[in-house]
Structure 1
Amino acid sequence: MTRSALTRKEATHERIVEAAARAIRRSGYAGTGVSDIMKNVGLTHGGFYAHFASREAMLAEAADRAGAEAVAASASIAAGAPPEQALASLVRAYLSKEHVENAEMGCPVAALGSEMPRQAPEVRRAATRRIKEMIDLIARQSSDWGQPGAHERALVTVATMVGTLLLARAVDDPKLSDALREATLEQLAPNVA
């Protein structure tokens, strides 16, 4: 195979993974089908196996990509803020109304958390790795990073952020959704700045 053919194959593979990463956040793992993903990128279902050994392999790459995008977005927000405001900025962005309304491009843990226990080991492994990265990112932004209890506080912060986002998306009452976000911000902001 020539290098240009390999490059085309790699580019196609990336398009499939990108489409799958959006689809799992939008429709869940169960609602993400190979045929739909391949159609979305302008390919036939038959071409799928030139890129992946199985649907689970595609889902694992999609989970990894979605998680990587979420961690990178959070890291960028933290890096763009003064160090003493980095964590508060990250929490505010994570719990923003925009993030609530854009599950397809947002945190895959909040979008897929309840489905993860039923996924193949490689899908769970990819998601777990990215969750650990998010916890580490939160811990590094804390003013008490490296001190006793800092890691545990990062665990609670991430769990609270994800739970709040999940609930804010789940309810059909916009006022309740906003109240969930605002209450969490009030509770976390003094502890994270």
Structure 2
Amino acid sequence: MRYSKEHKFQTHARIVKRASIKLREKGAHGIGVADLMKEAGLTHGGFYAHFDSRDALVVEAFAHAMDRSTEHWRRQSEEAPAEKRLSAIVNGYLSPLHRDNPGQGCAVPALAAEIARESAKTRRAFSGRMQQMIEMLAKQFHGVPPKTARKQAMAALATMMGSLVMARVAGNNEFSDEILKSGRDAILERAKPVAAKKTSKRTTASA
């Protein structure tokens, strides 16, 4: 039976979507092609009608997950006042909801360690998407030069990623919540405008 191009496109997209979830839940090597195809409701034999190799699927699945994260940040920033956009992203990222749902969350803390051991092609795809995430985050640092905003965005993403990984290792408890809060506080305190920080220090000194 021959299927239309639209049907093939929809099937391809469904495989990528399901793969992106399972890869974030189980890791790049935690699930095989047969399992991924089963998740998509297809047979193992149909895999090569959509992908040249398992690596090709992994690259697309990673890209899909990271694109979703960037788009989610974009929606959050559009829905918040300019001065609260960074905090909206950081608070949403370092939240118990995100911690407890890796399959629906950011691919960076879920897969970065494994990506470092993947093929050069996979690492390039991951790196390119990560740069897009940094650029998106840099736009939320207002009142600073672009180069400074980019550096701050890199530091913020590293803190977000590390805090989330630590919180997941700690589990669902008070200690884990404390890690999330510490990450949020560190980023948002660092991002305060210089003038506001100076004012705060003068107020403290005169008290």
Instruction: Find the aligned partners of 2:191 and 2:90 in 1 and give their Cα distance.
Output: 8
| Structure 2 residues not aligned, in runs of 5+ | 193-207
Match of 1:52?
51
Match of 1:136?
135
Task: Give yes or no for the alignment of 1:77 onto 2:76.
Answer: yes
Q: Which amino acid is 1:91 matched to?
A: V
Match of 2:118?
119
User: How many pairs does the alignment contain?
Assistant: 191
Q: Is the 8 A contact 1:139 1:145 kept in 2?
A: no
Task: Give yes or no for the alignment of 1:88 onto 2:98.
Answer: no
Match of 2:107?
108
| Structure 1 residues not aligned, in runs of 5+ | none
CA shift at 1:126, angstroms? 1.7
Q: Is the 8 A contact 1:88 1:192 kept in 2?
A: no
Match of 1:68?
67
2:97 alignment partner, SS class: helix
2:77 alignment partner, SS class: helix
Match of 2:9?
10
Instruction: Find the aligned partners of 2:146 and 2:73 in 1 and give their Cα distance.
Output: 22
Taking CA–CA contacts closer than 8 Å with sequence separation of 6 or more, which of the two structures ends up with the larger relative contact order?
Answer: 1
Match of 2:18?
19
CA shift at 1:171, angstroms? 1.6
Q: Which amino acid is 1:132 matched to?
A: Q
Q: Which amino acid is 2:29 matched to?
A: A
Instruction: Find the aligned partners of 2:167 and 2:72 in 1 and give their Cα distance.
Output: 20
TM-score, scaled relative to structure 2: 0.88
Report Cα offsets for 1:10-59 as digits up to 9, x if no partner.
Answer: 11100100011101100000012110011111111000000000000000
Report Cα offsets for 1:68-126 as digits up to 9, x if no partner.
Answer: 01111111111110011101111000101100001001010010111111112222122
Instruction: Find the aligned partners of 1:145 and 1:90 in 2 and give their Cα distance.
Output: 18
Relative to structure 1, is the Cα distance of residues 15 and 147 closer, same or farther in structure 2, using a 3 angstrom cutoff? closer
Q: Is the 8 A contact 1:25 1:108 kept in 2?
A: yes
CA shift at 1:189, angstroms? 1.9
Q: Is the 8 A contact 1:25 1:112 kept in 2?
A: yes
Instruction: Find the aligned partners of 1:144 and 1:72 in 2 and give their Cα distance.
Output: 23
Q: Is the 8 A contact 2:100 2:172 kept in 1?
A: no
Tell which deviates more after alignment, 166-175 or 46-55: 166-175
RMSD, matched Cα: 1.5
Q: Is the 8 A contact 1:64 1:126 kept in 2?
A: yes
Instruction: Find the aligned partners of 1:144 and 1:49 in 2 and give their Cα distance.
Output: 50
TM-score, scaled relative to structure 1: 0.94
CA shift at 1:147, angstroms? 4.6
Q: Is the 8 A contact 2:139 2:149 kept in 1?
A: no
Q: Is the 8 A contact 1:57 1:122 kept in 2?
A: no
Instruction: Find the aligned partners of 2:91 and 2:77 in 1 and give their Cα distance.
Output: 11
2:86 alignment partner, SS class: helix
